[in-house]
Amino acid sequence: MALFDLLGRRWTLRLLWELRDGPLRFRELRARADDLSPSILNRRMAELRAAAIVESRKDDGYSLTDDGRSLLDSLSPLHGWSRRWEKKFRGKRKA
Q: What is the pLDDT of residues 1-44, one digit of tens each?
A: 899 999 999 999 999 999 999 999 999 999 999 989 999 999 99
Residue 94 confidence (pLDDT) above 80: no
* Three-state SS at 70: helix
- Please report which residue ranges of the chain form alpha helices under DSSP H: 2-7, 12-18, 26-32, 38-50, 66-94
Domains of the chain: 2-94 (1.10.10.10)
- Please report which residue ranges of 8-63 form alpha helices under DSSP H: 12-18, 26-32, 38-50
Per-residue pLDDT, 90: 83
The per-residue pLDDT of the chain, averaged, comes to 93
Pairing of strands 54-57, 61-64: antiparallel
Q: In which band, very low, low, confident or very high, does the pLDDT at 58 lie, cut at 50, 70 and 90?
A: confident
* pTM, to two decimals: 0.85
Q: Residue 85, class by beta-carbon neighbours within 10 Å (0-12 exposed, 13-18 middle, 19+ buried)? A: exposed
